[in-house]
Amino acid sequence: MGVLFKEQLQTERLRLRVLEERDVGCWLSLVEKNRDRLRESFPVTVHKMKNRETALAYLKELKEENDAGESVYYGAWYKGKLIGELILKNVDWNIPKGELGYFISGEYEGEGLVTEGLRALRAYCFDELKLLKIYARIIPANKKSIAVVTKLGFELEGTHRQEYRSGRGVLLDIRHYGLVNKAALTEAKTEEE
């Protein structure tokens, strides 16, 4: 489709910027520092981020997805430091909808930074990309992530049994949380009439 995603989003405290080759060192450091925390919910990232060479190869894959309009991976920068990722992936332009993914370094949990970043990403998805729906897939044990999406208005749509393979190789249930862009949905219905 060739959608050009914004290179950068800004919040009060965060700068969300598409990850680039120059970021590989700090990106690798971020993942390494949080490897054990990420293993369960981000097994692909953990697997592909072993060293600079594998991180560069993974970044190339992500850039290809970005160029194809399938996903965009934003580094979350706070006071000049890369502290997490906010992701729009699995974009289906036929609906249109997309999946959100996110993580933050352990020492920044509880400061509202993920919520702040996701608010900006939600606004971008709905107001500029005109997605009708965004969703998040979360393992039931990740209570903090569930609290964040619930706070942002996402609703539990269901639990898919044995749907997700963790970084330990275990099949886990996954909860689907969705948020519909009511303004765009209303606009689409008006156009149909």
Query: How confident is the model over 70-118, as pLDDT tens digits?
Result: 999 999 999 999 999 999 999 999 999 999 999 999 999 999 999 999 9
E strands, 11-151, are 14-18, 72-78, 81-92, 97-104, 133-138
Residue 43, preceding peptide bond in cis (omega within 30° of 0): no
pTM (whole model) above 0.75: yes
Residue 153: pLDDT over 80: yes
Assess whether pLDDT exceeds 70 at residue 190: no
Domain boundaries 8-192, corresponding CATH code: 3.40.630.30
pLDDT on residue 31: 98
The Cβ-side half-sphere exposure at 184, using a 13 Å CA radius, reads 18
Asked if residue 177 lies in contact with residue 155, where contact means CB atoms within 8 angstroms, the answer is yes
Q: Where are the domains of the chain?
A: 8-192
Q: Indicate the average pLDDT of the chain.
A: 94
* Strand order, beta sheet including 155-165: 8-10, 14-18, 72-78, 81-92, 97-104, 133-138, 171-180, 155-165
Which SS3 state, helix, strand or coil, does residue 174 take? strand
Query: What distance in Å separates the CA atoms of residue 183 and residue 154, rounded to the nearest whole number?
Result: 15
Tokens representing 6? 């914004």
Q: How confident is the model at residue 2 (pLDDT cuts 50, 70, 90)?
A: low
Position 167 confidence tier, pLDDT thresholds 50, 70, 90? confident
Neighbours of 75 (CB within 10 A): 21
CA distance 129 to 79: 28
pLDDT of residue 148 exceeding 90, the answer is yes
